[in-house]
Structure 1
Amino acid sequence: MNGNRPQRAQLHGQWRLLGPAVVAWAAAALLIHFPGSGRLLAMGSAGIGSVLCLVWVLVLGRAGAPPTRTVGIALVGCAVLLGLGTRIDGIEGARSDPLLTGAAEAHGNVTMLTRVGGYPKPSSSIGGEDRSWVRAALFSVDGTPLERPSPAMLWLPGPPDDRWHPGARVLVTGSLVRGPPAELAAYEVRVSSLRYVGPASGIGRWTGPAAAALRASLHAVAADTTGAALVPGLAVGDTTLVSDDLDRVMRESSLTHLTAVSGSNCALVITAMTAVAKRLGLGRRVRILCGAAALGGFVIIVGPDASVQRAAIMAVVLLVSSYGGKRRHALPALGLATITLLIADPWQAIQPGFALSVTATVGILLWAAPLEAWLRSRVRLPRLLALPLAVAAVAQFACAPLLLLLQPGLPVGGVLANLLAAPAAPLGTGLGMVALLTLPVSASVGTCVLGIAVLPARWIEAAGAVSSSLPGARWYWPEGWPGAALLAGVYLVFGVAWAASSGWLRGSPPALRDGSGGWAPWRGRLRSTATLRRLVWATAAIGAGVFLAVVVVVPGAVRLGVPDDWAVVACDVGQGDAILLRDPARPSEVMLVDTGDDPELLGACLDLFGVRRIALLVLTHDHMDHVGAMQFALARSDGALVAPPSAEGEGRLALAKRVSRSGVPVAVGRAGVAGGVADSLVWEVLAPESGRQLATANATSLVLAVEVSGVRVLLLGDTGETEQRELVTRYPALTTDIVKVAHHGSRDQAVGFYATVGAQYGLVSSGEGNRYGHPNTALLADLAAAGTVPLRTDELGSIAIRLSPSGPEPWGAGARSAVMQ
């Protein structure tokens, strides 16, 4: 019976620092929303800690007894909260500097000296302009130094100078906007002009420019090498070459952590250096110092921003858990790392990356080793497959509730993608780093190494493409806090069932361990009464029932009510347009007119109505609410028809060129262009006329007349009164059965136009509660006067129209639109 006591004591000891870390995390996440509360936390923690010390000295100390475990943990917690509160109060003072607040309230341009906090990242607009952003610290305003630096986000008008590196000093001029108290950046600067002042100070004067030059050389060679877009990302987290389409595939397959500097990158650097040191016969302490030095150099190259700091520290935590077989040090090290990160920057507490990093590390520490052992012993998988599968499965399992706050659904395909990518990821990362270091010495050798790195990079691309395209790659689960709470509740139910079966509910934790020193609760035997066994099975059945009901029953029930013979669909994509058309007799040939600006909403609509491929994608004009999700749609499209450029788009990359970059055949629409299949679905562009460049993108909207099995559909884009009058003048006999109301139902409509075309139904694509007041009341009155029934996506959700012998019949998805997101 005493055999369990050492393990139980050891187990409890592992949580002594992790507990205060969780409390500090919760406190920071709450207090940064309320300026001034950090000082109160520091004062309260100091007072409580003093009382606890006094109690121990006066009461417990008299008997010569050491402080109890509870008192010790409480004192540690008070010390952590004291440091956290002091840090929050200090940073808030810098964020509310009178010079900065005054400049922000003046709404004018100011000149500021900044210190760059990382490498600029691209942020291309929908027009294709090269834009970028970078985090920085503000040091002076119009020549007046600040008392303390303040964090800011710089929005740059174009690509930055290649000399930029973390710590570089840059003089910027622009407007200053103060952010909410809980934002990571206290201010946003819309930069209008900038000037590079000089490199970082201290050792950064040499390391900063050198690191920037290394990254620039790798980027330049990768840009000229086919298939090398992922290599800079794998090596140093530089994703500027990754296309929108590839980025979407990586996100859908849960592989983005490979191109963001993560703990695996840091672990690879340390492992490689310590292996070399061991090969040279160096001792253990020297090997650790070599690994630490390599990690420091890697951090200098990739940039010391918050994500890199997290990755480096979490990598150290994982190494602490494995060196010397001392797994009992893992959780205390993680607790200390979390506390360190929070005190360094308390505003990380509400950042998704921080939460995912800590949660994934906890899951890997607790469950990866025993799951690997179970896979090897029960499933008979070799270690080469068992370890990456265990790590990927545990990380996905641990992070799933948090991921629901960022995107809907459970990305189970991500486990397969990570398993497939596991052999290639370290190879691609390692070769990318070798190319990075080799290029300055020998361009030919470095280029050759990078060419070899293309092979694992393409392997990873293929793994993502395969896993994201498989049926069932993402299971339905509601997003947001309700979905996260529901999934956490399912976890809790299964946890109770496991606890009951393994003996924890009776106060007797299992003593069994696997060969790696991890816990192996599934190897314990149930030593309980029949009542407890029934409790275990009933609890597990409840959890499984809830899980299957959400994953299988809800999506199935939603799809059962959807008409499968639809001809026209107005997708509910919020304040935007996305119209599906097809001949029900040829269901695979789908035409999509516009995409809205939200890929998830568009994807939900396509999934709801069973659309897998798009035969023709039509982009009526170059506005975000019509083409914002075009990369998502292009990945499923066989061809595209786009609007001609307008004067409004001068200086931006033409829509046709942006589409052609995706590899999809594209044509520019003009009046008279037509296509389709006779007696099925045919279409014709009615406007704009050829040879005219109109002033605005709205005026350049493609107007299409579509006929589906004898039913006429008129799609007006975002045309206004002028364009509608011209349309009636050029086509005096224009009539239709269904009209897509122009510009989401704005007031810019030609009086009497809808009475002229005589549609039975008018599709109004507008977002619920939109700030424009769409659809306009005067427009709705015009539709009523014309005898046209308005069908509004803000009221009905996605709207399908099926064709029956008696005419078009509308159907509204209602809440189904939200369920499939």
Structure 2
Amino acid sequence: MPDLRAVALGVGAWAGALLVLVAPGWQALAAVALVVAVVGTGVVRRWWSLGWLGPLGALVAVAGVAALQHVLLTTSPLAALADEGAVVQVELELTSDVRVVAGQYGDLQVVRAEVTRLEGRGSAWTLDAPVVVMAGADWPRLPLGTRLESTARLVPGDGDVAALVRPTGEPEVVAEPDVWWDAAAGVRRSVRAAVAGRDADARELVPALVVGDDGGLDPDLADDFRTTGLTHLLAVSGTNLTLVVGFLLVLGRWAGVRGPWLYALGVLGICGFVLTARAEPSVVRAAAMGVVALVGMGRNGRSRGVRGLGVAVLGLLLVWPRLAVTAGFALSALATAGILVLAPVWRDALMRWTPRWVAEAVSVPLAAQVACTPVVAAISGQVSLVAVAANLLAAPAVAPATVLGLSGGLLGLLWGPLGVVVAAPAAWSAGWIIAVARWGAGVPTAAVDWGTGPVPLLLLTGLCVLAVPLAPRVLGRPVTTLACTGLLVVVMLVRPPTPGWPPRGWVLAMCDVGQGDALVLRAGPGSAVVVDAGPEPAPTDACLDRLEVTAVPLLMLTHFHADHVGGVAGVLDGREVGEVEGTALVDPPEGASAAARAVGRDPAPAAYGVTRRFGEVTLQTVWPRPGARPVDPAESAPNNASVVLVAEVGGVRVLLTGDVEPSAQAALARDLQGLRVDVLKVPHHGSRHQDLDWLASLDARLALVSVGEENDYGHPAPDLVAALSAAGASVWRTDVSGDVVVVVRDGELGVVARG
């Protein structure tokens, strides 16, 4: 049995960080004081041993660091000026690579930085405060390590940053990146160049495996990796470092390096890996867990590895307490703990009737999966059934893809063709991993919906804890192991029905796809018209599966923002799709291009004023009217170009409004005077920018708001919800109720929610 005292240090540190970060202020201090009092009293009265003082000290130390960092952030001049929305002059250093994200009115460049000098409101400060820079798509894209000056507007931040910085002018470069950042960037470019001639997915996966550079990975493929439990391969993880540094140590031994020089070589490899992968907290966390894994592979590895894990958690949280509330940290620590503590016991049980290599191959991913399952379910709302099998199949290809991909990049710095040759097997290995991910995601029941509420998560955690003592008994006997495996295979291959779903008499469904739209109108048995596809394929696909939709005679994309077209592949997955139409305004162009790639052709423009019938659905396009131009330039043109539909299905009249904003709504009010509907799909996820008089005049009995839980936009606006309720509408929201289905039973209109 490994010595768990060091693990207790890590648990104490984690608890200290959570107490301060989850309940900041006097509540956190009171909680820390209560824990200290209880444990201290127990030790003094000899109820518990002195060993409790170690975890208690770790708890107090990390809680103190977390509280101090919180105070420094909230009392920073940046935070004060951000509360006032001040325009300032900042000097800052970029500390991450730029990410391009879809904003409400177009793409944004997002990058983390450290502000070193600040001027505003007649004062100047020299400081060192973390911020997030959010710039427009046309702002210059600068590399990590660049120091620059710019005018900017400050916006209040949250989490671990003092403010959000919105540049209002062009940046002036003060200093180029240091030489080590240039070297790291050169290696990353060389890795990409070494596989540039390979298949599109393979040439993106290799950099992701080597240094976590997944910026160009196809979103559908990334979703398949999530479904199959292979997401850890796309981010910088301890596995990356273990493979890279382990290979470097093997080369060192082969070259005759021994003793302290071998340790120095390992340290050099760790530093090089961290720089290449970017020295962010998540990368350092992954490196620390990788070092723990390396220690666990040595002599007396299990005991030393467990001690190393506790010390690593304590050390990381003393530097970055906020890691305690990140999913990546939890998954890394739990997976490492599972491999060190559970896997050896389960391996020994399997070795009673299988070869050692089989026992190790099965026990490692199984232990990691059981340890991480509650956290994964809390994030995704799903439990993967194929994760262990997918990791088992992918494992042989991970090492060659990672090691040879990096080797090809390094050798490519010396001579490009040599790098291409060395990296070729890495691309082939990546192709195998991609095939495994796609196969796993294609299994009928690759994952089961579990929910993210406290009750299902507590139940799942209890089941995982119960698996710890039961697993060795099951795995130690071939009959029970094979029986459980066979049952799992049957469950995966046969998609279980959702009891009572779809509801009897359903006519319209608003799918819970997060911050986006996906509406389904029943056209007949197994057939439906789909209006918008949500931001991601998986939730849309799952919703259509639950509704038993196998044919889509019409897919209508109201406009091309990512939250409406990002999930098109989910509509197409395993279904017969007929016509695909959209708005005539091809903006944003990248959204339109992504939709066209997924469909295989450009969506046809929806014909204004034409009434059509698709089975039991009658549709008329009532906007955009040719020649109509909403007059407010402050509004989003793509939103106002949304296709607006009046539909009738099962005797229920529905108005589907896309994301039209007030000026377009005013034009619709003039065009559709006297319109009355039974169901209103509220425009723009319940934004506060609405023509409330028009919406209230529709006399809708049901108002549907498709909105993401805890979204950053404040949707739906309380004033809007109050106005619709006052007009007699019952307001239903996906962030509260999940899938919302409108039903007609005995001539009466009703709603069934799948919360």
Flag whether TM exceeds 0.5 (same fold). yes
**Cα deviation digits, residues 632-658 of structure 1 (max 9, x gap):** 546567463111228xx5xx4264323
Structure 2 CA distance for partners of 1:608 and 1:398, relative to 1, 3 Å: same
- Over the matched positions of the two proteins, sequence identity in percent amounts to 26
> Distance between the aligned counterparts of 1:111 and 1:313, measured in 2?
37
Q: Residue 530 of structure 1 corresponds to which residue in structure 2?
A: none
Is the deviation greater in 482-491 or in 591-600? 591-600
Superposition pairs of residues 712-727 of structure 1, within 5 angstroms: 715-717=656-658, 718=660, 720-726=665-671
TM-score, normalised via structure 2 length:
0.80
Is the deviation greater in 768-777 or in 609-618? 768-777
> Distance between the aligned counterparts of 2:125 and 2:173, measured in 1?
20
Aligned AA for 2:667? Answer: T
Partner SS state of residue 114, structure 1: strand
Is the deviation greater in 594-603 or in 305-314? 594-603
**Cα deviation digits, residues 87-121 of structure 1 (max 9, x gap):** 34553453245532332233112222223333333
Q: CA deviation at 1:679?
A: 6.3
- Contact preservation (8 Å) 1:274, 1:290: yes
Q: Residue 270 of structure 1 corresponds to which residue in structure 2?
A: 245
Task: Report whether the alignment pairs 1:481 with 2:454.
Answer: yes
**Cα deviation digits, residues 7-27 of structure 1 (max 9, x gap):** 6xxx4xx11221122112101
Task: Report whether the alignment pairs 1:24 with 2:13.
Answer: yes
- Contact preservation (8 Å) 2:9, 2:55: yes
Structure 2 CA distance for partners of 1:792 and 1:157, relative to 1, 3 Å: closer
> Distance between the aligned counterparts of 1:697 and 1:427, measured in 2?
46
Aligned AA for 1:620? Answer: T
Structure 2 CA distance for partners of 1:709 and 1:104, relative to 1, 3 Å: closer
Task: Report whether the alignment pairs 1:279 with 2:254.
Answer: yes
Superposition pairs of residues 454-493 of structure 1, within 5 angstroms: 454-493=427-466
CA RMSD of aligned residues (A): 4.6
Q: Residue 135 of structure 1 corresponds to which residue in structure 2?
A: 112
Q: Residue 751 of structure 2 corresponds to which residue in structure 1?
A: 812
- Contact preservation (8 Å) 1:593, 1:620: yes
Superposition pairs of residues 510-549 of structure 1, within 5 angstroms: none
Structure 2 CA distance for partners of 1:803 and 1:135, relative to 1, 3 Å: closer
Which of 642, 645, 648 does residue 701 from structure 1 map onto?
A: 642
Aligned AA for 1:311? Answer: A
Which of 272, 295, 316 does residue 291 from structure 2 map onto?
A: 316
**Cα deviation digits, residues 552-576 of structure 1 (max 9, x gap):** 9xx9795235346755434456786
Aligned AA for 1:608? Answer: R
Aligned AA for 1:662? Answer: A
Q: Residue 152 of structure 1 corresponds to which residue in structure 2?
A: 131
Q: Residue 189 of structure 1 corresponds to which residue in structure 2?
A: 165
Q: Residue 505 of structure 1 corresponds to which residue in structure 2?
A: none
Q: Residue 580 of structure 2 corresponds to which residue in structure 1?
A: 640
Q: Residue 592 of structure 1 corresponds to which residue in structure 2?
A: 530
Aligned AA for 2:703? Answer: V
Task: Report whether the alignment pairs 1:620 with 2:558.
Answer: yes
Structure 2 CA distance for partners of 1:678 and 1:723, relative to 1, 3 Å: closer
Q: Residue 221 of structure 2 corresponds to which residue in structure 1?
A: 246
* Greater strand content: 2
Task: Report whether the alignment pairs 1:102 with 2:43.
Answer: no
Partner SS state of residue 598, structure 2: coil
Q: CA deviation at 1:625?
A: 6.3
Task: Report whether the alignment pairs 1:232 with 2:207.
Answer: yes
> Distance between the aligned counterparts of 1:709 and 1:812, measured in 2?
14
Partner SS state of residue 720, structure 1: helix
Q: Residue 520 of structure 2 corresponds to which residue in structure 1?
A: 580
Structure 2 CA distance for partners of 1:778 and 1:229, relative to 1, 3 Å: closer
Structure 2 CA distance for partners of 1:798 and 1:50, relative to 1, 3 Å: closer
TM-score, normalised via structure 1 length:
0.75
Q: Residue 413 of structure 1 corresponds to which residue in structure 2?
A: 386
Q: CA deviation at 1:294?
A: 1.5
- Contact preservation (8 Å) 1:671, 1:685: yes
Q: Residue 540 of structure 1 corresponds to which residue in structure 2?
A: none
Which of 292, 302, 312 does residue 267 from structure 2 map onto?
A: 292
Partner SS state of residue 123, structure 1: strand
- Contact preservation (8 Å) 2:508, 2:741: yes
Is the deviation greater in 356-365 or in 412-421? 412-421
Aligned AA for 1:125? Answer: G
> Distance between the aligned counterparts of 1:99 and 1:491, measured in 2?
46
> Distance between the aligned counterparts of 1:224 and 1:524, measured in 2?
47
Q: Which has the larger radius of gyration?
A: 1
> Distance between the aligned counterparts of 1:448 and 1:470, measured in 2?
35
> Distance between the aligned counterparts of 2:716 and 2:96, measured in 1?
37
Partner SS state of residue 379, structure 2: coil
Partner SS state of residue 378, structure 2: coil
Structure 2 CA distance for partners of 1:196 and 1:522, relative to 1, 3 Å: same
Aligned AA for 1:135? Answer: R
- Contact preservation (8 Å) 2:676, 2:698: no
Structure 2 CA distance for partners of 1:636 and 1:136, relative to 1, 3 Å: farther
Aligned AA for 2:116? Answer: F
Q: Residue 350 of structure 1 corresponds to which residue in structure 2?
A: 325
Q: Residue 671 of structure 1 corresponds to which residue in structure 2?
A: 607
Structure 2 CA distance for partners of 1:268 and 1:125, relative to 1, 3 Å: same
Partner SS state of residue 610, structure 1: coil
Task: Report whether the alignment pairs 1:662 with 2:652.
Answer: no
Q: Residue 117 of structure 1 corresponds to which residue in structure 2?
A: 95
> Distance between the aligned counterparts of 2:25 and 2:697, measured in 1?
56
Structure 2 CA distance for partners of 1:374 and 1:571, relative to 1, 3 Å: same
Q: Which runs of 5+ in 2 are unaligned?
A: 478-483, 632-636, 708-714
Aligned AA for 1:560? Answer: G
Aligned AA for 1:412? Answer: L
Structure 2 CA distance for partners of 1:722 and 1:354, relative to 1, 3 Å: same
> Distance between the aligned counterparts of 1:615 and 1:413, measured in 2?
32
> Distance between the aligned counterparts of 1:154 and 1:311, measured in 2?
25
> Distance between the aligned counterparts of 2:348 and 2:611, measured in 1?
60
Which of 339, 343, 350 does residue 368 from structure 1 map onto?
A: 343
Aligned AA for 1:16? Answer: R
Task: Report whether the alignment pairs 1:398 with 2:371.
Answer: yes
> Distance between the aligned counterparts of 1:614 and 1:451, measured in 2?
41
Q: CA deviation at 1:738?
A: 6.6
Is the deviation greater in 603-612 or in 564-573? 564-573
> Distance between the aligned counterparts of 1:265 and 1:126, measured in 2?
35
> Distance between the aligned counterparts of 1:47 and 1:766, measured in 2?
48
Structure 2 CA distance for partners of 1:124 and 1:454, relative to 1, 3 Å: farther
Partner SS state of residue 454, structure 1: helix
Structure 2 CA distance for partners of 1:381 and 1:741, relative to 1, 3 Å: same
> Distance between the aligned counterparts of 1:459 and 1:346, measured in 2?
38
> Distance between the aligned counterparts of 1:120 and 1:625, measured in 2?
21
Q: Residue 634 of structure 2 corresponds to which residue in structure 1?
A: none
Structure 2 CA distance for partners of 1:445 and 1:569, relative to 1, 3 Å: same
Q: CA deviation at 1:774?
A: 4.3
Structure 2 CA distance for partners of 1:44 and 1:22, relative to 1, 3 Å: same
- Contact preservation (8 Å) 1:575, 1:770: no
Partner SS state of residue 197, structure 1: strand
Aligned AA for 1:185? Answer: V
Structure 2 CA distance for partners of 1:703 and 1:68, relative to 1, 3 Å: closer
Q: Residue 430 of structure 1 corresponds to which residue in structure 2?
A: 403
**Cα deviation digits, residues 244-292 of structure 1 (max 9, x gap):** 2222222222222111111110000122112112222333544333222
Which of 166, 169, 184 does residue 211 from structure 1 map onto?
A: 184
